[in-house]
C-alpha cells in the first residue's frame, strides 16, 4: 500500500504502469485520475492544503478499511497539494484485486472518501476572486452510500 502527498505534477500513466508491473496473482486493476477542471474556459487554479502527518494517517485508515472490505491485494493513492493548474492531475487512485468488481468498488469507495472526508482543503482562485470549496450534496450522498 502506498499513500503519498506531493506538490509536483505526476504522470498517471507511469504510476499505473509501475503499480501493475510484475503482478501475477491479481486479475484486476482499476485506476482513477482526477483532473483539475477549468469551467467554461475560466483561468482558475486550485490550491490544495493538507495537514501534514494527520492527512496521510487518516487516509491510511480508510485505505486499511478498503483493503479489508474489498479484499485488495494492493492500492496506491497519490494526491497533489499546493497549486494545481487546470488540466493537471490532482489525484490518482488504483486498486488491485483478484476480480474486477472488488477493484472497481474499492476505487469508487476511496474516491468518495477522498472527495469529502479526507483532511484536504481546496480553494479555487480565479479572475473574480478566491473561493473555498465545500463538498456538494452529491459528494455527501456519494460517500454515505458506503456507511
Partner 1 sequence: MAKVLLFGALHDVAGWRTRDIDAANLQALTALLSSEDPALGEALAGKGVQVAVDRVIVRGDVALGPATEVAFLPPMSGG
Phi, psi of 42 (to 5 degrees): -65, 140
Strands, E assignment, the chain: 2-6, 28-35, 45-50, 74-80, 82-84, 89-97, 120-126, 129-133
Task: Single out the residue of 57, 71, 87, 144 in contact with partner 1 (rule: CB under 8 A).
Answer: 57
49: contact with partner 1 by CB under 8 A: yes
| Residue nearer to partner 1 on the CB measure, 86 or 135 | 135
88: contact with partner 1 by CB under 8 A: no
Task: Give min distance, CB of 34 to partner 1, in A.
Answer: 5
143: contact with partner 1 by CB under 8 A: no
53: contact with partner 1 by CB under 8 A: yes
27: contact with partner 1 by CB under 8 A: no
Q: Quickly tell me which residue has 484486476 as its cell.
A: 28
First to last CA, the chain: 23
Phi-psi category of residue 129: left, alpha or beta, with phi > 0 → left and psi -120 to 50 → alpha: left
37: contact with partner 1 by CB under 8 A: no
34: contact with partner 1 by CB under 8 A: yes
Q: Which stretch binds partner 1 (CB under 8 A): 13-21, 66-74, 98-106, 114-122?
A: 114-122
DSSP 8-class letter at 147: -
- CB burial of residue 61 (10 Å; 0-12, 13-18, 19+): exposed
Per CB under 8 A, residues contacting partner 1 are 34, 48-49, 51, 53-54, 57, 79, 90-91, 111, 114-123, 130, 132-135, 139
Amino acid at each position: 500500500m502506498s499513500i503519498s502527498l506531493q506538490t509536483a505534477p505526476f504522470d498517471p500513466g507511469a504510476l499505473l504502469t509501475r503499480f501493475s508491473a510484475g503482478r501475477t496473482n491479481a486479475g484486476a486493476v482499476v485506476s482513477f485520475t482526477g483532473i483539475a477542471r477549468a469551467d467554461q474556459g475560466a483561468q482558475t487554479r486550485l490550491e490544495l492544503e493538507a495537514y501534514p502527518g494527520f492527512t496521510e494517517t487518516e487516509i491510511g485508515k480508510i485505505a486499511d478499511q478498503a483493503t479489508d472490505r474489498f479484499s485488495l491485494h494492493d492500492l496506491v493513492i497519490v494526491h497533489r497539494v499546493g497549486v494545481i493548474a487546470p488540466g493537471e492531475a490532482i489525484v490518482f487512485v488504483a486498486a488491485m484485486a483478484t476480480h474486477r468488481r472488488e477493484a472497481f468498488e474499492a476505487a469508487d469507495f476511496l474516491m468518495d472518501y477522498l472527495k469529502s472526508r479526507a483532511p484536504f482543503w481546496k480553494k479555487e482562485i480565479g479572475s473574480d476572486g478566491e473561493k473555498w470549496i465545500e463538498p456538494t450534496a452529491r459528494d455527501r450522498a456519494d460517500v454515505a452510500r458506503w456507511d
